Chain A
């Protein structure tokens, strides 16, 4: 059970992170630790690429809702991209897909 979080692109008002591995109760604190500093900056667009996330449980949902609220409170925007069907379903069931910017496609991907 492991997770990696890499910042793949960073400009003044946009940060792109690639998350890989599993997001569960064990890895969520690590994920939060990496992402929280980004979310508390000035209005920012954070794009989180989840295409390499092979498992996420409800704890992971908690991380992204916290992030979503934090970024929104600062006037920024959170976008989740590259979600597998399983992940997409989690956001659908929890009703979060209706209020968050979720896109299964990875657009403008930077290798």
Chain B
């Protein structure tokens, strides 16, 4: 039977019981009743009504002033009833938003989906985890046959849904320039014009774009204001900054981007990341780049995907499993 239909009876039961025993159990029964009433969206004034009719049934001889007092209480509770109904409709709207967000985030995943290429001689590990539902970080691989592997890593300044939508735009702009994709400085120059024209004045994108030539193992790269990656030299056993200068995308439409080169030997690694990795805040302050290097050093003999996964777990632990920023880390290692 529906709660509403047996509500009167139930309430009288609880009330009678408490009048007789004033026990903890009957108080507990009252709590359960109120939980059920909330669940069935019973407004507060209806509860007052319940009390009034229950009392009329149990103690019909009370003086008329008592009944009048219930009417006043009813009147006063009506406003609370309105507030309650408003709250109910907000909850419903919020549920709708939540559903839409879930759909949006899965659409984003599909739109921005990229697969990590399998390449003989070059091991690649990549991981991107959003702090909130939608990811403002983005990475993308394009494997151009025997010639090269192109890698892009980007971060939208600004978070949440607008940032995520902006990333989708970038991805489509990138897909539409296959003819340049072997030239990092041309890719960034062209994306810069797209972003400058299309994006809100306070939204910017940082991006690193690299083209790894498979024949001669040369990395060509350019950066648009992106957090510098690392280059691990096996021979020197040292981590060097993969320094490249360039302005954020979307600030100045006439900016040009310089192209840099790095020779990659067997055992060397290219480490790319979003600022969510280096801007990771902990109780003691920030993770310094050196700390990150020491983390990588701990796992240096593992395959890149495992290193990436382990570092994410370590950084997550340092932040008490509450990511503050989107996290993206890519490691490419030449193995032969």
* Residues of chain A at the chain B interface (Cβ within 8 Å): 25, 32, 57-59, 61-63, 65-66, 69-70, 86, 93-96, 98-99
* Residues of chain B at the chain A interface (Cβ within 8 Å): 155, 157-159, 201-204, 206, 224-228, 245-248, 251-252, 255, 275, 279, 286, 325
- Given A62-B202, A65-B202, A94 contacting B247 (CB threshold 8 A): yes
In addition to A59-B157, A65-B204, A69-B251, 9 A-B residue pairs with Cβ atoms within 8 Å of each other are A58-B157, A61-B248, A62-B158, A70-B201, A93-B225, A94-B225, A95-B247, A96-B248, A99-B251
- Given A59-B157, A59-B158, A62-B157, A95 contacting B202 (CB threshold 8 A): no
Residues from chain A with a CB closer than 8 A to the CB of B201 are: 66, 69-70
The complex places the Cα of A3 from the Cα of B286 at a distance, in Å, of: 19
Residues from chain B with a CB closer than 8 A to the CB of A63 are: 202
Q: List 19 A-B contacts (CB under 8 A).
A: A32-B202, A57-B275, A58-B279, A59-B157, A59-B159, A61-B157, A61-B248, A63-B202, A65-B202, A65-B204, A65-B251, A66-B201, A70-B201, A93-B227, A94-B247, A95-B224, A96-B247, A96-B248, A99-B251
By secondary structure, the B interface counts as loop
- Given A94-B248, A95-B224, A62 contacting B204 (CB threshold 8 A): yes
The complex places the Cα of A86 from the Cα of B275 at a distance, in Å, of: 13
- Given A65-B202, A65-B204, A57 contacting B279 (CB threshold 8 A): yes
A71 to chain B, nearest CB (A): 12
B48 to chain A, nearest CB (A): 42
Partner of B325, one of A32, A57, A69: A57
The complex places the Cα of A48 from the Cα of B227 at a distance, in Å, of: 24
CB-nearest residue of chain B to A73: B201
Residues from chain A with a CB closer than 8 A to the CB of B224 are: 95
Contact B246 A58 (CB under 8 A): no
Partner of B159, one of A25, A69, A93: A25
The complex places the Cα of A93 from the Cα of B158 at a distance, in Å, of: 17
CB-nearest residue of chain A to B285: A55
Residues from chain B with a CB closer than 8 A to the CB of A65 are: 202, 204, 248, 251
- Given A59-B158, A62-B157, A65-B202, A95 contacting B248 (CB threshold 8 A): yes
